[in-house]
């Protein structure tokens, strides 16, 4: 049973790697820049909208409002190297 489970896991990892699912998800963790005013008073979806307008899509694939201390900023993530 253990060998079969290992084989299934390896097969799934191989399929994800060959279809570039891993690459596309990992690429969205690259910092692209900040958008909008600080503190950023809006939602995550508005942050992503701001990022796409400022940097384009691609490279932007996500935007998140992140808070450090009491200050919220809109941080853009994407596929830049």
Residue 74 has pLDDT above 90, yes or no: yes
Please tell me the distance from the alpha carbon of residue 1 to that of residue 23, in angstroms, as a whole number: 31
Q: What are the tokens at 9?
A: 């896991």
The answer to whether residues 63 and 29 touch, using CB atoms and an 8 Å cutoff, is no
Domain carrying residue 21: 2-78
Residue 18 has pLDDT above 60, yes or no: no
Number of domains observed in the structure of the chain: 1
| pTM score, whole prediction | 0.65
> How would residue 27 be classed by pLDDT, with cut points 50, 70 and 90?
low
């Amino acid at each position: 049973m253990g060998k079969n489970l290992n084989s299934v896991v390896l097969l799934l990892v191989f399929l994800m790697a060959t279809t570039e699912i891993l690459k596309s998800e990992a690429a969205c963790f690259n910092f692209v820049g900040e958008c909008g005013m600080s503190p950023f008073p809006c939602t995550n979806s508005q942050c992503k909208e701001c990022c796409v307008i400022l940097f384009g899509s691609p490279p932007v694939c996500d935007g998140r409002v992140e808070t450090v201390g009491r200050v919220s900023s809109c941080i853009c993530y994407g596929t830049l190297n």
